[in-house]
A and B are shown apart, each in its own frame.
Chain A
């Protein structure tokens, strides 16, 4: 093959350089010799004849295409070869040449200080970051056995999207596997070290821990199926039992050294649930006895913990969008919900994610007491500009920042969802709220085109939808009613597993039920005064706090509400951007949710913390990466990237090597979390 082609090429050259007629004959003669060549040659020859008039001896379009591709390929191979032949320290060398010598990674630095592995470490990954693999599927998932459907490259989501959505969904009634489908969490450290190739989650932390001597026997990734409600992971996979047995074994094989637990994001709630479960008697609990936690756990280092929920969860459940999606939707309205191409992406995503019970664990908890009422919120008076100025200048400017804040209208963060900007801003008596709860749900629209992307909105009818919009404003408390109204099935499933209130009397026997175990405002911490609880999170990034909604203008088939991205704040410093009010946080979890329990709810001996477990708040100020070479930055404060934050890693390693919270330096606070916590009126 190459030989003939080569000849042909050479002939073509001659054809180009020599006089026309003779060479053409030659080509034709040559062509007759070889069938393969003939096929290719004759059209080329014809083309040449045609082009003869204009350009002399130019290659045909096809030829130059091939030529171009060849060039690209060759260059690519060359580069690939060079890349592979490159010494592995080369990128580092380049980086150092540009930015100056890099600081040692914390693992190396602390190893030099003489720290070694001491306490076994348990990681609890959060929602979405854990991989899921297929163990049994329908026919369309042929060949995907034990391949990752979630995590990894997500190749299948593109190749067979419908099949993928079908397999990722859970049963709408039970919240467990649909019949014939078994999707299970990936186990081991690989479950969540990288979410996608190159996008680390735990990998940096693992690598740094390994530097001071950790390995698989002293590190454990408590991977669980993050789609299930927490108690269901035990029912279906016995995950909680496995975690219990594994922690027991690690403590036993490491000479009785207690474990340091590092949950991230939703893993924080999962581990709260675990701590209650493990001490509760069987069959509902794990039967570990009342002192299991004090025997086996040294410290819990919560990273970006959404203790009190996140507002993002509401918008996710309500309209399957967050700020970024809303913006994309505003730019290209038809794209994500395209009816013609039968894409209906958002509807499918909503349908799928509404079968995941775990998302409901992150609905804001504590109602108006915590998240603020119509006219009040703990964060009020917060200005994003203030913090920015602190970062840039010194404290002098911060005072001027507070001065200017007094002149501006306060943002009513308590109104988590409002329909229209005026509803979000005007004082509460002026808002006319029509109770939607009694509104008759209209008849089923029974639109056949929508059938396959069923969401519960179809059962609501136009009246119901309008009633929802006319209520205008929802606080953290009424938002629950709203969700109850728009997604009754999901909430019925979810409310059997999660609760969002504040306990009046924690000794009430009803709080022994597992649905309260993941709500820190309705559980007591275990009686283990030696445990230390850390709240570690990034600050300095605007984080979604409340939303301005509008009704979708389009056909019934769509999700009837969407974030109104046309609303912007009056000036540059406003918290309102694209229909979303933001406060300080780590881009996902507002500071209030991440910090309140450690700053106030559990500080000292409170009714939520009867044994007086010590708590520490450790904040990490966000600094974006200085240049592209730094990747996702070593000082990032955003929800996932904070796991690559050197300061945070150093703290974790020190604790794992035996330090206490006091050794680390106690609290480390940049935000107003203590001030805000004070404003919350909660009996302790």
Chain B
């Protein structure tokens, strides 16, 4: 794959070279013109001197013309010549590349964990089910509008994404869901790609599951005992069953694998949002139809050995909020501040962000990632479980590199952080203005949010904005200002904010997801499917032998709360808020580019991925009545040492962790029959245990 990319790059470089070459050509033409001018002046002088030099003059003219013609022709010639040379050289290189032996002598790639374990005698035992996360699964077209002619069963999502460039509006239209139902719009059917190909690579060369699959294959796995539970990640979880019967299919496949592999229980490996999806499945499968799958109360106990959650956003991710609110994350915000016009230029009709927001807001699944548990988990105006975390990440790295002055550095860091400790109030997930993010809560204006949000927004019908309709168009300027005036939103008031700015979306999605904490889990209302994907509002199935792992990377700054500002632009630039990327903290501060960071795997903060395994489900709690064992396994992030390593074999980033050697080894060992104790129980680098202790939740 990498080779193909490289070749492609070469391929693209050439035309560029060609262009630059043309500019040179132009420069040379100018030179020629200059020469000619000089000649002309000379000839004029000659004319002046020799009056009867007419014939001569004509002669030179002819000569000049001839020369000119020849030169132009030659120009094209040499163009061709250069291109020819390049092509030939390129072909030669390609040929050489292909005739290269597969393994260079002397260069020994590190042995893959699969091969090593295979030699140790670890063999495939339990069938494995992989559950991909949001946006990593491919989507293909089954029925579309006339503009998608020829794209039948081609990937619209995943793969090379060429269609975005070719027909962007058409592409957006087909990826959107219906704004009312959250299902297919009429006349469009986009479906998940099934099978391992669904999410092995996201784009060519960018692996997601491929490395894990390859290593599993080394110890004997193949398609009959490895299954990719691909689903349409745009839909709310219950809707995947309603439309595609995805949950039924998963159930039937797990049962089949269990039977055909000698009644060996299944090891499930969900990633990212797949974790929540599989939580939903656990509840669904045991409940009676029509809402559930009718597997009976012992289904999970008989069929599932372990659930190895990778980078689990059990309690949601703050990134989802910024995405819904202004369809940007840290990276987008930075681009936007550097070049304000590019992403939403009205002249070019781009309005990229507005389009992206419109499409993303039809995807119910995003709502499943909004922070759950409210202020109890995520902290309130003045308190948060991570406080005092102090963005030691940069420091940690220097610590590692310079071992000598470890102590001095450390104390240094401590001092600065203790000074700043009070500043980072992570509980304020969204604050308008940098100031609002750290002033004591008593100084905050107390606007009654509820009242504000009840106020009926008046519609601004602006004809030029019609095309890229986002729900912001229906908000009046005043109410937008009111929103900003409220200054600070915690994870609890945040939901009100979202309900206010995106009423339709939240109405649709809140029928499918819930974000609270259950007081009494015996309440029959918790049998409704909207609670199934919230670990704080559901009970784990009665399966005491089942093991639950939380596997995630740590050591990367992860977005936790945002400093917002109002967009300075006109009415039609429909997204009225944006991250204030000018808000910077001190050098070691957690605030960078308008975003406060904590420890995590770049997408999911440690708190969200670790809390349930570290505390919520540990032992016999009301969320885990049968006492299924939980393990927290963290993987310290280490960036790839050299370019040759690609995305690194010790990465802790949200997706790259799937190539982490230690992680792969854990999965392989469990799949081959090991228990959590045998692979070493907990493995913790972060403060997750301490943070969890601080959370005051009844268990």
Residues of A at the B interface (CB closer than 8 Å) are 1-3, 5-6, 9-10, 12-13, 16-17, 63, 65-74, 77, 88-89, 135-136, 142-143, 145-146, 182, 184-185, 187-190, 193, 206-207, 210-211, 213, 215-217, 237-238, 241-242, 245-246, 248-249, 252-253
Contacts and interface: CB of A to CB of B under 8 A. Distances in A.
Interface residues of B, number: 56
Given A145-B217, A206-B153, 4 more contacts: A6-B78, A69-B85, A184-B222, A188-B194
B83 A10 contact: no
30 contacts: A2-B17, A6-B82, A10-B28, A10-B74, A16-B74, A17-B70, A66-B88, A67-B77, A67-B81, A68-B80, A69-B84, A70-B80, A70-B83, A70-B87, A73-B87, A136-B217, A145-B217, A146-B217, A182-B222, A188-B197, A190-B197, A207-B152, A211-B143, A216-B192, A216-B194, A241-B259, A242-B224, A245-B252, A249-B248, A249-B249
B150 interface: yes
Interface of B: 15, 17-18, 20-21, 24-25, 28, 67, 70-71, 74, 77-88, 102-103, 142-143, 149-150, 152-153, 189, 191-192, 194-197, 200, 213-214, 217-218, 222-224, 244-245, 248-249, 252, 255-256, 259-260
B190 to A, nearest CB: 10
Nearest to B225: A238
Contacts of A248: 252
Contacts of A246: 252
Nearest to B198: A188
A71 B74 CA distance: 13
User: Interface of chain B, helix or strand or loop or mixed?
Assistant: helix
Contact of B222 (A69, A135, A206, A215): A135
B79 A142 contact: no
B21 A71 contact: no
B187 to A, nearest CB: 12
Given A210-B143, A215-B142, A70 B84 contact: yes
A13 B191 CA distance: 59
Contacts of A72: 84
Given A70-B82, A88-B149, A188-B195, A210 B25 contact: no
Contacts of A77: 15
B11 to A, nearest CB: 10
Nearest to A77: B15
Contacts of B74: 9-10, 13, 16
A71 B244 CA distance: 52
Contact of B84 (A3, A67, A253): A67
Residue among A187, A207, A237 with the highest chain B CB neighbour number at 10 A: A187
A5 B142 CA distance: 50
Contacts of B20: 2
Contact of A237 (B87, B213, B224, B249): B224
B84 A143 contact: no
A242 to B, nearest CB: 6
Contacts, number: 146
A402 to B, nearest CB: 48
B84 A68 contact: yes
Nearest to B102: A142
B212 to A, nearest CB: 13
A73 B197 contact: no
A298 B71 CA distance: 77
A1 B86 CA distance: 9
Nearest to B101: A142
Nearest to B99: A159
B214 A145 contact: yes
Given A70-B87, A217-B245, A187 B79 contact: no
Nearest to B146: A89
Given A188-B195, A241-B260, A73 B84 contact: yes
B562 to A, nearest CB: 39
A188 B200 CA distance: 15
A64 to B, nearest CB: 9
A242 B87 CA distance: 50
A587 to B, nearest CB: 28
Given A88-B149, A145-B214, A67 B80 contact: yes
A146 B248 contact: no
Given A187-B195, A245-B256, A5 B84 contact: no
Given A69-B87, A73-B87, A238 B24 contact: no
A506 B608 CA distance: 66
Contact of A70 (B25, B70, B85, B218): B85
A9 B77 contact: yes
B568 to A, nearest CB: 38
Contact of A210 (B17, B86, B152, B213): B152
A671 to B, nearest CB: 35
Contacts of B149: 88-89
A13 B78 contact: yes
Given A69-B87, A145-B217, A253-B245, A13 B71 contact: yes
A6 B15 contact: no
B217 A135 contact: yes
A65 B222 CA distance: 50
